[in-house]
Amino acid sequence: MSFRLEVLHTIWNWEGVTDSFPKLLALLEIYRSQRSISSNLTPSFAKNNLSQIDMIALSGAHTLGFSHCTRFANRLYSFSPSNPVDPTLNPTYAQQLMQECPQNVDPQ
C-alpha cells in the first residue's frame, strides 16, 4: 500500500510538501492528547469534590477578562438602529469599554 500525503504546513512554521507518515502520526498524537485533557482533569477535580463545571471555570479562568475591541465593538456602537449600545450591557461597564475601545480606531 502506498500513498502520498501533501500538506502545506503553516501552523508549525513548516512550508512545503511533506511525505512523512510518521510526522502525520506525531501530529495526530498531539491533537489526541490535547482533546483528552478534559477527560483526564475531570477525575482529578472529582477527587477534590469539584464538579466538571468547577473544572471548566477554574481551568478556563486564565482567558477571562481579555478580548480585542473588534470582537465586541458592534455591541457598543452599532447594536441596532434604535439602540446603538446593546441594552443587555451594564451602562457603566459599557461606558468603561467605550473609553478603552474608542469608535473607529485602527485595531493595529
In a domain, 73, yes or no: yes
Domain count, the chain: 1
In a domain, 90, yes or no: yes
| Overall residue count recorded for the chain in this entry | 108
In a domain, 79, yes or no: yes
Query: Between 80 and 1, whose confidence is greater?
Result: 80
Is 63 annotated as ligand-binding? yes
Is 68 annotated as ligand-binding? no
In a domain, 81, yes or no: yes
Residue 8 is classified by DSSP as: -
Helix, strand or coil, per DSSP, at residue 72: coil
The whole model's pTM is what? 0.41
In a domain, 29, yes or no: no
45 with 55: CB under 8 angstroms?
yes
Instruction: Look up residue 62 and give its three cell numbers.
Output: 486564565
- In three state form, how does the secondary structure of 35-77 look? HCHHHHHHHHHHHCCCCHHHHHHHHHHHHCCCCCHHHCHHHHH
Domain that holds residue 89: 69-100
What's the mean per-residue pLDDT of the chain? 71
d(CA 59, CA 82): 39
Residue 93's pLDDT is what? 92
Instruction: Look up residue 25 and give its three cell numbers.
Output: 502520526
pLDDT tens digits for range 23-71: 656 655 654 555 556 667 778 778 878 887 877 777 665 555 567 888 8
In 3D, which of 31, 62, 55, 61 has the Cα closest to residue 41? 55
Residue 9 is classified by DSSP as: -
In a domain, 55, yes or no: no
In a domain, 53, yes or no: no
91 has a pLDDT exceeding 50 = yes
In a domain, 19, yes or no: no
